[in-house]
Structure 1
Amino acid sequence: MRARHSASTAQTSRDVRGKDPLVAPVCPAKAAQWFVSAHAQMTRVPLGCHFNAVLAAWIRVEAASKFEHGPMNLPSRRRPTHVGTWIGGARGTRGTADPKVTDAAAYARQWQTWWDGLQPEWRKKEKDGKWSTKEYGAGGNEWGPLTQWGVNGTLSIVASLYFWGCAVPGDAELEAQWEAAVLDVAWALEGLAIFYEKF
């Protein structure tokens, strides 16, 4: 389950680097305006330490890409309609409200189909149907459709988890589905960040 933020918990949940995993990572001072706006939006509602790991990896990806826009857009085939609606509304920069996920179970199915289609060729599923996180294939140098940074890239993945996460508090089963997705995205974005920082 998601870790809830509280002052007492924050004082005892620090990792070995002295950072508090229950506090969202700070927006870098040299970030481009599009990222500043997106970061503010994705941190309005605290969604716990695992989502913060996604945010941290996202920051690394975009910082390594110098907060520039990628050459292409992240594939939209089978993407959750909420993400497309958000993009069509200028990603909330014109005062539009965040899209509300009213059927989290349906959203989870749509999201998983989209996410499955974004995986690099080397990534395989385990017997339980979950994507393997044992190692980064191709030496961590080949990420296929996921190799899209900037406002039309990994931001859409982060936003898709954020909208979903805002819709599941209080339902253990739905929250567990969301948590699994968050952990998998964190793993993938961390691998992307390592690749981007290297090259």
Structure 2
Amino acid sequence: ALPDWIEEAMRYLLEMCNDIQWTALLLKWVELESQLGFLKGRSRSNQLSVTNRPAQIGIWIHQSRPWDAMPVIGHNVVEDYSILWWLWWRSLQPAWRAETLSRDLRGKGQFTWQETRKGSSSGFFLVILSLGWWL
């Protein structure tokens, strides 16, 4: 069985979009959480960097993560949000990938996914959720 917070998140995330690729992404996310041991709590070691993270994410977190009060990324903020979201995403990538955002995941030399491979409600989940706000 999945932890309660993941089941709740999946219900919400599945309502965001009916696209098969979105559903596949969500299933991969659950697989990642499983590989990481379904981490609980909000330990700093499981938190993604906040560098360049869009403010809407922090506001939602500080409001106790209400499922019924998600930010609306309307036409008046979508450009700024998208710029910050991509800057944040790049900051989470291994150095070899940050410049090109290459889809080649083999990389060049030694590298680690430690900045991105984070479980819990403060980990990769926030990347997916905040991407969903943008849909």
CA contact (8 A) 2:54 2:85 kept: yes
> 2:51 is matched with which residue: 67, 74, 77?
77
Partner of 1:21: none
Aligned residue identity for 1:101: I
The equivalent residue for 1:100 is 72
TM-score (norm 1): 0.58
Separation in structure 2 between the aligned mates of residue 89 and residue 66 of structure 1, nearest angstrom: 27
Q: Which sections of structure 1, spanning at least 5 residues, go unmatched? A: 1-29, 166-199
Within the candidate set 30, 35, 43, 2:14 is matched to 43
Q: Does 1:119 align with 2:75?
A: no
Aligned residue-pair number: 130
Q: Secondary structure, in 3 states, of the residue corresponding to 1:85?
A: helix
Does structure 2 retain, via aligned residues, the 8 Å contact 1:121–1:144?
no
Q: Counterpart of 2:86 in 1: which secondary structure?
A: helix
- Cα distance in structure 1, aligned partners of 2:8 and 2:82: 26
Identity within the alignment, %: 25
User: Does residue 1:151 correspond to 2:101, yes or no?
Assistant: no
Deviations 1:111-146 (A, max 9, x none): 0111111111232544xxxx1112322689720311
1:32 counterpart letter in structure 2: P
1:33 aligns with 2:32: no
Question: 1:55 Cα deviation (Å)?
Answer: 0.8
Q: Residue 52 of structure 1: CA displacement?
A: 2.0
From 162, 168, 173, the counterpart of 2:132: 162
Contact 1:86–1:99 at 8 Å: present in 2 too? yes
What secondary structure is seen at the aligned counterpart in 1 of 2:97? coil
RMSD over aligned Cα atoms: 2.2
Matching residue of 2:33: 62
Q: CA deviation at 1:47?
A: 4.5
Larger Rg: 1
Is the Cα–Cα contact under 8 Å of residues 75 and 118 in structure 1 kept in the other structure? yes
Equivalent residue for 2:64, pick from 75, 90, 109: 90
One-letter amino acid of the structure 2 residue matched with residue 43 of structure 1: L
Greater RCO between the two (CA within 8 Å, min separation 6)?
Answer: 2
Give distance in 1, aligned partners of 2:69 and 2:110.
Answer: 37
Q: Of 116, 131, 137, which aligns to 2:107?
A: 137
- Larger deviation, residues 48-57 vs 111-120: 48-57
